[in-house]
Structure 1
Amino acid sequence: MIDILEPWARSVDRIRSHRWRKILVLGDTDRGKSTYCRYLCEQLLANGSRETVAYVDADVGQKDLGPPTAITLGYPQPRTPWTQIEPAAWHFVGNVTPAGQLLPAVLGTKHLVDTARAARTVINTPGFVRGTGRILQTHLIEAIRPDVMIAIVKGRELSALLKPYRYHRTLRLPPSPQASAKTLPERQANRERAFRRYFSTAQQAEFLLDELVLQRALIFTGTKIHLSPFPYAERTDEGIIAVAAANT
């Protein structure tokens, strides 16, 4: 149970009354973005609402929905715990930080927002907001074109990010007083728990390589060649790839 700030409650009333469809939530780390997103989704679903609410979790490091390293889409339901919401779709980024993965992060978020097709879509962004992170957030804003941005800030935080969008509809909200700074070991532990939870029901599966399509990978795009002592090798447009046995 959390104490909800009055500005947070007023923001929900405004979002509901104006029927803003795409809500992009921005903020530094440890500001309560995830808490706000969950609260907003729950309120939009309250009182017998028949609106479909989608949640796009674009924070690849500290996940509410699905495993780290992926952007995920889910559909919260009234009285359903968040831990029981299964991702309806996801986009693999491949890292627990969007640093160095800006294009997959932007394309993946945009794709899932478009896929949602909901009356309301709440988008939770990573707390990566300075330097390269600011560039990521600007591309997210321009790709998604939200109806409203929710900036959870202390003082003048995010000024450099938001000033170019000063004519865009933006609600600035204070952080949750219960949001506390997490240490690096705490963040790592959260990711480990999220991975364990996601893979707890995993089963071993076998696939024929000839039937698989590997995206963004060079292997299996060329012509197979014999290259001793390697069990597999191929010639591609970018050179030769050789696969070595595990014990070599």
Structure 2
Amino acid sequence: MKSPPDLHVPREWHEAAQRLERDNIRTVGVIGRTDSGKSMLTGFLFTSAIQTGRDVALIDTDLGQKMIGPPACVTMSDAQGLALAFVGSTDPVLGWKPLLEGTQRLFSRTDATIKIINTSGLLSGPGRRLKAAKLQVIQPDLLIVLGNAPDLEPIIGERPDIPVLHLPSSPHARRKTDGERRAGRRQAFHRYFEDAAVLSLDPALLLETPPAISPDRRLLVGLRNGLGNDLGLGLLGGAGDNEAIEVLTPVRQAAIQGIVPGMLALDEAYSETRLKAEGRGWPGARSLL
């Protein structure tokens, strides 16, 4: 989570880290345009808080370009380790409902004295409404706006109760192409499933009927324990009405008490195909990414 040794950290970032400690900030949200350096800043604040002895949690709500954990999830790193909330999509608009629910679930789950929340760079249209909904969930003590983001001014104006700190973008931030983003997700999925095993599971564990997909792909699923907490991801293979289903996953079989179908199908190279989001997305949503 530490910044690269050669990263030039703007003076204003150091001042922001000092403010978090001085003012005893408990919840800070980081927002800004795509590729403005939000992950760099969030990682810097996270590391700085640890170095001052604070118990800190980093919650990553960016579904596609992850700082921690696998794509298609809200993820959290705190003193207890890595936790995740399955969304099932890398598109925040199509995964609107489980994204907000997962953020709330992880936010409530940690006892950290400071929570730092990273967000995606989707700001226009429904993305702006999603930012407002996230602020309603996390209720930050401080909102950090990174770089020039005029699209966020209406949201900021609607929440005069939240202090706002404007910081410059990282000089090392650069614009990624769509191909680079897709490649990053493929690599992240590959790392996650690298040591996975194929489990034979009872189809009665499926909490929803999975959509039909082509035989050369597997459906991304979330795996839950008996308390309803997400344990990790799986790739669902074939299934019959009364037959066992095959799931490729690093999660221990004994812990799995529920399977939630996602909205992505992955091929052998972990390239993704997006599926319909029945009742999970922003009303009338279509993919904007």
- Does the CA-based 8 Å contact 1:71-1:92 persist in structure 2? yes
Instruction: Name 2:115's counterpart in structure 1.
Output: 121
AA matched with 1:45? I
Instruction: Name 2:94's counterpart in structure 1.
Output: 100
Instruction: Name 1:24's counterpart in structure 2.
Output: 29
Q: 2:200 is paired with a residue of what secondary structure?
A: coil
- Match among 173, 193, 197 for residue 199 of structure 1: 193
- Match among 33, 36, 61 for residue 58 of structure 1: 61
Report the Cα distance in structure 2 between the residues aligned to 1:178 and 1:76, rounded to whole angstroms: 29
AA matched with 1:163? G
Instruction: Name 1:34's counterpart in structure 2.
Output: 39
Instruction: Name 2:84's counterpart in structure 1.
Output: 90
Give the strand-richer structure, 1 or 2. Answer: 2
Residue 161 of structure 1 and its aligned partner are, at CA, apart by: 2.5
- Does the CA-based 8 Å contact 1:23-1:121 persist in structure 2? yes
Per-residue CA deviation, residues 12-52 of structure 1 (Å, 9 max, x unaligned), is: 111111111111111110010000011001101115x1x21
Report the Cα distance in structure 2 between the residues aligned to 1:94 and 1:66, rounded to whole angstroms: 14
Q: 1:76 to 1:191 in 2, by over 3 A?
A: farther
- Does the CA-based 8 Å contact 2:30-2:146 persist in structure 1? yes
Q: Which stretches in structure 1 are left out of the alignment for 5+ residues?
A: 78-85, 220-230, 234-248
Residue 209 of structure 1 and its aligned partner are, at CA, apart by: 2.5
Q: 1:205 is paired with a residue of what secondary structure?
A: strand
- Match among 171, 178, 183 for residue 177 of structure 2: 183
Look at both structures and tell me which one has the larger radius of gyration over its CA atoms: 1
Instruction: Name 2:202's counterpart in structure 1.
Output: 208
CA RMSD of aligned residues (A): 1.9
TM-score normalised to structure 1 length = 0.79
Instruction: Name 1:246's counterpart in structure 2.
Output: none
Instruction: Name 2:234's counterpart in structure 1.
Output: none
Report the Cα distance in structure 2 between the residues aligned to 1:37 and 1:76, rounded to whole angstroms: 17
Residue 74 of structure 1 and its aligned partner are, at CA, apart by: 1.1
- Does the CA-based 8 Å contact 2:128-2:151 persist in structure 1? no
Instruction: Name 1:232's counterpart in structure 2.
Output: 241
TM-score normalised to structure 2 length = 0.68
- Does the CA-based 8 Å contact 1:151-1:171 persist in structure 2? yes
Q: 2:101 is paired with a residue of what secondary structure?
A: helix
Instruction: Name 1:144's counterpart in structure 2.
Output: 138
Equivalent residues, number: 208
Instruction: Name 2:10's counterpart in structure 1.
Output: 5
Residue 166 of structure 1 and its aligned partner are, at CA, apart by: 3.3
Q: Which stretches in structure 2 are left out of the alignment for 5+ residues?
A: 211-239, 243-289
AA matched with 1:232? D
Per-residue CA deviation, residues 41-100 of structure 1 (Å, 9 max, x unaligned), is: 1101115x1x211111110000111111011111279xxxxxxxx62x211111111112
- Does the CA-based 8 Å contact 1:41-1:76 persist in structure 2? no
Instruction: Name 1:110's counterpart in structure 2.
Output: 104
Report the Cα distance in structure 2 between the residues aligned to 1:8 and 1:14, rounded to whole angstroms: 10
Report the Cα distance in structure 1 between the residues aligned to 2:241 and 2:112, rounded to whole angstroms: 47
- Does the CA-based 8 Å contact 2:123-2:151 persist in structure 1? no
